[in-house]
Amino acid sequence: MKQNESGQMLAIALGIVLLLLIIVPNLVKMVQTESRQTDKQRKSTIAFNIAETAVERGMWKLKESTGAWDNAYRGNAIPGYNFDVTHTDVDGGSYRIRITSGPNLREVTIVGEGKDRTSQEVRAIRAVFRNTAVPGAMISRGVITWANAFSAHWGAIMAHGNINITDANAAMDYFPRKYSRQVVAAPGFGQYARDVNGIDPPNTDGVEWWSDYPVPDLPVLDFAALRSSAAATNTLNIYGCSKMSSNPNPPGHPWGWWVGSGYNYSCNLGGGSGSHTGQRHFQNPWATPGTPVRSRGTGTTT
């Protein structure tokens, strides 16, 4: 009886060893395969992330000026953005960028190609951009505080920060539409409150307000190019005025128009009184940003 038991134990042990000999090599092979796939995925991810960096750099080039967009839109090659330069300013690899026009009207295509330095893995991303006007009456990089004394009569309002409605009359007014990257809030106004749960869904009523909305970046304006274009077409908006001298108040012209560039402008606006109520005015942002337009003498500022 004991000899039979010993034989059975030996057979079981041999069976276990045989099973391990079958299973273990397969397990090792599976682990090795998984490791290779993981490493390949990691290298592919690095190349993909570098390609994303390339597209973002191309996008910022387009936003640099209206001239950059116009060149790309017309199909003109932009130096450094035609697969003619290899950029190495990122860890782990390099990238190239190509900006071309199309495929449709008012569109530009950016192709970003990223290469992993270790594995030489290459990935590319193609993105199509469209140049659009500001999609609303007002867009803010910060917070908009909306009260009854403030109103927009065309288009929506947009903000990268919150849109805070601060009085009851404004809360009861469901125009204009409101879009925020953060929260459209009207706390304390009961049934007229907007987003009552913050950034968490639901983020809209589907009619008048949208929180957590992809509000576009503010446009970058090339004032020098705009002024040059206006001057070339004789539409530069200094209505009825011509540059006289650098003297802020030259003799014989007690009421000039100073636009912040150090020059005075003689304005012939009719009537002989020097009043320019109702006339259109043009700030000179390319010379002194933020400097207010000022009138002198008997003129009145509008």
Digit-coded pLDDT (tens) for 4-58: 666 677 777 777 777 777 777 777 777 767 666 666 666 668 888 899 999 999 9
Residue 176's nearest CA partner among 189, 195, 163 is 163
**Checking DSSP bridges between strand 157-159 and strand 138-140, what pairing results, if any?**
parallel
Question: Mean pLDDT throughout 249-271?
Answer: 43
Residue 78's nearest CA partner among 56, 94, 55, 101 is 101
Residue 124: count of CB within 10 angstroms of its CB: 17
Digit-coded pLDDT (tens) for 205-238: 988 999 999 998 877 777 777 778 777 777 665 5
Task: Kindly state the helix (H) or strand (E) to which residue 110 belongs, with its residue range.
Answer: strand 107-116
The residue count of the chain comes to: 302
Q: Tokens representing 39?
A: 């490493």
The alpha helices in 63-216, defined as continuous H runs, are 66-73, 168-171
Q: Tokens representing 261?
A: 């560039």
Whole-angstrom distance between the N-terminal and C-terminal Cα of the chain? 117
CA 116 to chain centre: 27
Give the C-alpha separation, 205 to 54, whole Å: 37
Q: Output the pTM of the full model.
A: 0.44
Q: Does residue 214 have a cis bond before it (omega within 30 degrees)? A: no
Q: What is the dihedral of CA 136, 138, 139, 142, to 10 degrees?
A: -150
